[in-house]
């Protein structure tokens, strides 16, 4: 069955990310993809699956255990090397920076494994990007809320217009070389402590 694509096992306790990788591999025509998110009993599962390629999240604390298992060759009957080729420094670097590692059974040709690793790297990167964007959006929303609160405080306590209140926050931020949201946060906290934070002013 030399034409058949290698079988792939994805080990990742982040089930969302694992699903994204699995989907990518299936789109690329891999029909033998298994995802394991639970580390318990993994030795037996690997022995039963006999995967050609194992893709694992770099932060998984069980990597030492898994590598030992590969080395003992009890679970995996053929010797296993890391990544595609020890000399392939570029893919190793890209993979580690993306947060993924891959183990490959001996004898698999480089060009059969490279697309799998590339897929895993790009999907890991895409997932991290998504996470960052989500985090950014969350904190942007948070700052907007705080700035609105601070504006409200200034409008009530100093009788300012909304425009003037914002201008004052911005000027203070520039003078202190801080972000507007930080100045606003400070103002809201101070008002809270002085008991002026109530919505009725």
Partner 1 sequence: MAEIEIAAGFIPLTDSAILVAARECGFAEDEGIALTLLRETSWANIRDRMAIGQFEAAHMLAPMPIAFELGLTPLSLEVVAPMAMGLGGNAVTVGTGLFEQMKELAPFVSPDPQGSGLALRAVIAARKAEGAPPLQFGVVHPHSGHNFELRYWLAASGIDPETDVDIVIVPPPFMPDALASGQIDGFCVGEPWNSVAVSQGAGRIATVKSAIWKSSPEKVLGVRADWVRNNPHGLSKLLRALYRSAQWCGDPANHAALAHILARPEYVGQPASLIARGLDGQVVEGLSVADKAWFFEPFARAATFPWQSHALWFYSQMVRWGQIEHTPANADKARRCYRPDLYRAALRSLSVPIPAANAKVEGALTDNEPVGATAGALRLGPDGFFDGRIFDPDRLDAYLSEDAD
Binding region for partner 1 (CB under 8 A): 58-65, 67-71, 80-83, 86, 89, 92-93, 96-97, 101, 103
Q: From the CB of 32, what's the least distance to partner 1, in Å?
A: 23
Widest Cα–Cα separation across the chain: 80
Burial of 88 (0-12, 13-18, 19+ CB in 10 A): middle
Q: Between 92 and 150, name the residue whose CB sits nearer to partner 1.
A: 92
Do 106 and 80 contact (CB within 8 A), yes or no? yes
Q: From the CB of 135, what's the least distance to partner 1, in Å?
A: 20
- Taking phi first (over 0 means left), then psi (-120 to 50 degrees means alpha), and beta for anything else, what does residue 181 get? alpha
Q: Between 85 and 182, name the residue whose CB sits nearer to partner 1.
A: 85
Q: Between 64 and 163, name the residue whose CB sits nearer to partner 1.
A: 64
Q: From the CB of 43, what's the least distance to partner 1, in Å?
A: 9
Q: Between 76 and 187, name the residue whose CB sits nearer to partner 1.
A: 76
CA distances from residue 169 to 1, 47, 76, 79 in whole angstroms, order as listed:
69, 63, 63, 64
């Amino acid at each position: 069955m030399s034409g058949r694509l290698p079988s792939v096992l994805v080990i990742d306790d982040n089930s969302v990310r694992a699903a994204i990788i699995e989907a990518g591999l299936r789109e690329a025509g891999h029909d033998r993809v298994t995802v394991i998110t639970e580390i318990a009993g993994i030795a037996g599962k690997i022995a039963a699956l006999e995967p050609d390629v194992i893709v694992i999240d770099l932060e998984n604390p069980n990597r030492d255990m898994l590598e030992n298992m590969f080395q003992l060759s009890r679970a995996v009957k053929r010797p296993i090397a890391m990544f595609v080729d020890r000399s392939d420094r570029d893919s190793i670097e890209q993979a580690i920076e993306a947060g993924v590692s891959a183990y490959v059974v001996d004898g698999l040709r480089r060009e059969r494994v490279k697309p799998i690793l590339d897929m895993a790297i790009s999907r890991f990167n895409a997932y991290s990007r998504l996470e960052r964007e989500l985090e950014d959006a969350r904190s942007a929303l948070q700052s907007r809320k705080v700035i609105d609160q601070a504006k409200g405080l200034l409008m009530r306590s100093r009788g300012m217009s909304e425009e003037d209140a914002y201008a004052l926050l911005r000027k203070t931020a520039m003078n202190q070389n801080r972000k507007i949201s930080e100045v606003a946060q400070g103002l809201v906290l101070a008002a809270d402590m002085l008991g002026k934070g109530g919505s009725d002013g």
